[in-house]
Amino acid sequence: MASKKPRIMPFRLAPWFSARVWGRRDLRPWYDSTGAVEPVGEAWLTGPQCRVETGALAGQTLAEVATEATEQLLGARGAGKGPLRNGPPGKDGSAEFPLLVKLLFPSEKLSVQVHPDDAMARAMGDARGKTECWYVLEAEPGATIALGLREGVTMEAVRAALLGAHRAGPTMEDLLQWVPVSVGEMIFVDAGTVHAIGPGLVLLETQQTSDTTFRLYDYGRPRELHLEQGLRAMKTRTAAGKVKPVAMDGFARLIEQRYFVVDRYEIAACGEAVVPSDAPGCLVAMDGTAVVVSEDGGPVDLPRGRAVVVPVGCGPVHVRGRAGAAFVHCFAPPQNTL
């Protein structure tokens, strides 16, 4: 009889740094060095190409772990049992970690863009759409984001602005609703919401595992635009907006949506906080270094700007560190696990 595979315990991932024209060269205090030559705009914390840094799985990518140990990482629904409300697995039929968690570091405005919903993405041959949220970690005075169209703006006006039908008329940037943001705010970005991010921010982005983006307007930068696809994906009204936190038993629920939940914890005076493992997710430290300990696993250091993946069913996870230190738990609701 084949021996049962050992249960996977929490493990830390090395971030994958993505160069962007709007990024930064210096990401301190989050990262002392990125090894990148070009400005870095995104640090992918749970990207499929991120490599495991700790434990028996060290050296494997998250994609490899999800493929080879699907049920241990993602639970029964990850192995194809139960309803899959979050859509099918990847294009090749393999399982995927359900959430892509990133840190964003804009030094200039991001392009005006939009993401498709599940229906449009599947019609294009992609596994899923891209609904996301942003948690504001740093914000300079006057920092803003663009979230949806201004009241009364029509699709005809958007098309005219994008295609240059009225040279003297408003630009796409003029048609957007620009919203001031500050540290600690959570913003929901529903698929189909035309949006942009201004400079002077550091954001924690939690999203469906997808990188499908339609760029509509790019301030004259020589990059490809996706006007027709973007116009098809865009919606004049969505559920996007700021979300107020909800006090829970020992933590704050920053957002709860169909595809993801983000909870903020502060380590108690006793020096630890306890996090459940009933859904696939990850922990990200906001300041300092914490240590993650599970029932049967050894301690895993959790420095600022790194993710520790919490597999389903590994038992309650204890996060230990300085009293008052903050971290977030990003996870996919069980009914949406891939």
What CATH number should be reported for the domain holding residue 292? 2.60.120.10
| Residues whose CB falls within 8 Å of the CB of residue 78, separated by 6 or more in sequence, listed in order | 66, 70, 71, 95, 280, 312, 337, 338
Determine how β-strand 281-285 pairs with β-strand 307-310: antiparallel
Question: What's the whole-number mean pLDDT along residues 69-91?
Answer: 57
- The pLDDT of residue 300 is 97
258 plus 189 within the same structural domain: no
Global pTM reads 0.92
In a domain, 6, yes or no: no
Tell me the residue range of the domain where 46 lies.
11-243
- The pLDDT of residue 334 is 77
24 plus 59 within the same structural domain: yes
Question: What's the whole-number mean pLDDT along residues 10-35?
Answer: 96
Cβ burial, residue 103 (10 Å; 0-12/13-18/19+): buried
| Contact between residue 285 and residue 325 where contact means Cβ atoms under 8 Å apart | yes
228 plus 262 within the same structural domain: no
- The pLDDT of residue 166 is 55
32 plus 64 within the same structural domain: yes
192 plus 251 within the same structural domain: no
Write down the mean pLDDT value for the chain.
90
Q: What is the pLDDT of residues 143-155, one digit of tens each?
A: 999 999 999 999 9
Query: Residue 174 gets which letter from DSSP?
Result: G
pLDDT of 268 strictly over 60: yes
Across 22-26, 160-164, 198-202, least confident range: 160-164
221 plus 86 within the same structural domain: yes
pLDDT of 78 strictly over 70: no
In a domain, 150, yes or no: yes
Cβ contacts of 165-172, under 8 Å, gap ≥ 24: 171/217, 172/112, 172/216, 172/217
What confidence category does residue 309 fall into, taking pLDDT thresholds of 50, 70 and 90? Answer: very high
Element (H, E) at 118: helix 118-123
